[in-house]
Structure 1
Amino acid sequence: MKIPTFTFLSDPMPEQISQITALYRAEGWWTADASDNPEMVAGIIAGSHCFMVATIGDEIIGMGRAISDRASDAYIQDVTVKDAYRDQGIGSEIIKLLVERLQGDGLCWIGLIAERGSHEFYMGLGFEKMPDSTPMLKIIPA
């Protein structure tokens, strides 16, 4: 197995934007018509507290990001690893490095919403279910 490199990305190149878009699509988070906007991807990266990619050579094989108010709270989201690279500890390392970065930046309340079937992964990394909480969403059409 080749050892991945983990990097905080702030100014992505066009090919990196293309690969990140493909990761969003592979997870079903974006449809083709809603995600053909490189400027939006660059804005997501720039607007995040931090955005991490895992790479082997020039191939982005995983990603994750954190958003925050930069004062007290942060949320981890968009964590994924390509199918061919799963179960190798890459996702765990992405989470570990994001948490370390957030803690280093003084943020101690770190939340996330675990997708169906993924809560045990996050619990194994020290996250706990939030008692008496329900994730909620409001989508406003563009």
Structure 2
Amino acid sequence: MDNMDRGERIRIAGGEKVSSVAIRDFGPQDSEAVSVLIRENLLKVNSRDYPEQIIQRMVNLFSPEYIKLISAARKMVVAIEGEKVIGTASLDGDTLYTVFVDMDHHGRGVGRSLIRYLEQVAWNSGVCILKVPSSLTAEHFYGELGYRRVQVIESEEFGTDIIMSKDLRPVTYREYTPTGKEFIRLIESAGWQGITEKGSKQLETALCGSWFIISAFKGDQLVGMGRVISDGVFQAFICDLIILPDDQGKGIGSGILRRLLKKCKERDILMVQLFAAAHKADFYKKFGFKERPLEAPGMRWVSRSSDV
């Protein structure tokens, strides 16, 4: 992606067909094709979520002349298959705009490739948080790419705009033991009760007693952790797998869990156990965890002042 003028060759799979698609800079000669592409999407897709008068206003706006105008102020790119323009997207500073794909190519990864391409451009220019004003129609699509809703703007002229953002900083994983204060911040973000009362010093002591800890970072910010308590030979217990709410759903928990299990596997530990939080059992099942049978249930004893 360093030489943006060359374009990028990508492989797009669609059913049984696999085609080679290039991403390159927009040129004035593309304005007519991009206008047709955008207008078709507005009339046939976005019209499901917006009133006719708003759609017609947008269709009138995206003329070839208007597209040439905005291309002069933004970084605009197009996806090409053969000689045909099949997608477009643009970047203005820290914001994505005009992400549209030819309707015959929906669901084939063209839009994702355009966005990832411009994400790299944004990152190379020093942008850490990338925004996109999403339509109601596209919110789910952007959500799957890691964008999260931060604001909703309503206007008579354009209807509903959903402002979404994504942190472009790569996630790194380290064998790092959080401080007591960092641990409390994670616990509070998860809404866990009855733990922070121990205080930061005792919680830090607890963490230092762990057999293995993996922490996830974005830049210098701690965004998640998980740890293993173990004898190092036979038994291991995974606990405190916590991801900050804004960073959930981005594969960070999976990255932590894979590293914890890898460590256990390296030591040939036979029994790895855990307690799943509410509604999280399916997440752990993807990694091979199974619920204990009723004839051999998992149990726990929680110390209470009146118990003994």
Cα 1:20–1:37, aligned 2, differ >3 Å: closer, same or farther? closer
- 1:29 deviation in Å? 2.5
1:8 is aligned to 175
Q: What's the offset of the Cα at 1:109?
A: 1.1
Distance 1:130 1:41, change over 3 A: same
Matched residues in 1 for 2:276 and 2:230: separation? 17
Q: Give 2:190's aligned amino acid.
A: E
Matched, 1:24 2:187: yes
Q: Please say if 1:135 is aligned against 2:299.
A: yes
Contact 1:25–1:31 (CA<8 Å) still a contact in 2? no
* Aligned partner (choices 245, 256, 260) of residue 94 of structure 1: 256
**Separation in 2 of the partners of 1:135 and 1:115?**
15
Aligned match of 1:84: 246
Report the secondary structure of 2:240's partner residue: strand
Q: Amino acid of the residue matched to residue 237 of structure 2?
A: Y
Higher mean C-alpha displacement, 16-25 vs 124-133: 16-25
Q: CA deviation at 1:28?
A: 2.6
Corresponding position: 1:44 with 2:206: yes
Post-superposition CA distance 1:73-118 (Å, at most 9, x none): 1010100111111111000110000000111122121011111100
- The change in CA–CA distance for 1:128 and 1:67 in structure 2 (over 3 A counts) is same
Equivalent residues of 2:184, 2:196 under 8 A apart: no
Q: Is 1:119 aligned to residue 286 of structure 2?
A: no
Determine if contact 1:75/1:112 at 8 Å carries over to the other structure.
yes
Distance 1:68 1:135 in 2: 18
Is the radius of gyration larger for structure 1 or structure 2?
Answer: 2
Cα deviation, 1:55-76, whole Å, max 9, x if unaligned, reads: 1122110011110122201010
Aligned to 2:128: none
Query: 1 or 2 for the larger relative contact order (CA 8 Å, sep ≥6)?
Result: 1
Please tell me whether the aligned partners of residues 62 and 81 of structure 1 are also in contact (alpha carbons under 8 angstroms): yes
Q: CA deviation at 1:27?
A: 1.8
AA aligned to 2:172 is T
Contact residue 25 and residue 32 of structure 1 kept, 8 A: no
State percent identity of aligned pairs. Answer: 24
CA separation of 1:41 and 1:32: change in aligned 2, threshold 3 A: closer
| SS of alignment partner, residue 276 of structure 2 | coil
Shift of 1:32: 8.1
Q: Structure 2: where are the runs of 5+ without partners?
A: 1-167
- SS of 1:138's equivalent? coil
Aligned-pair distance for 1:19? 1.8
Q: Could you tell me how far 1:41 is from its partner in structure 2?
A: 2.6
* Unaligned segments of structure 1, at least 5 residues: none
Separation in 1, partners of 2:176, 2:203: 12
Q: Tell me which moved more, 123-132 or 70-79.
A: 123-132
CA 109–32 in structure 1, closer or farther in 2 if over 3 Å, else same: closer
TM-score (norm: length of structure 1): 0.85
Answer whether contact 2:187 2:196 (CA < 8 A) is retained: no
Q: CA deviation at 1:7?
A: 0.9
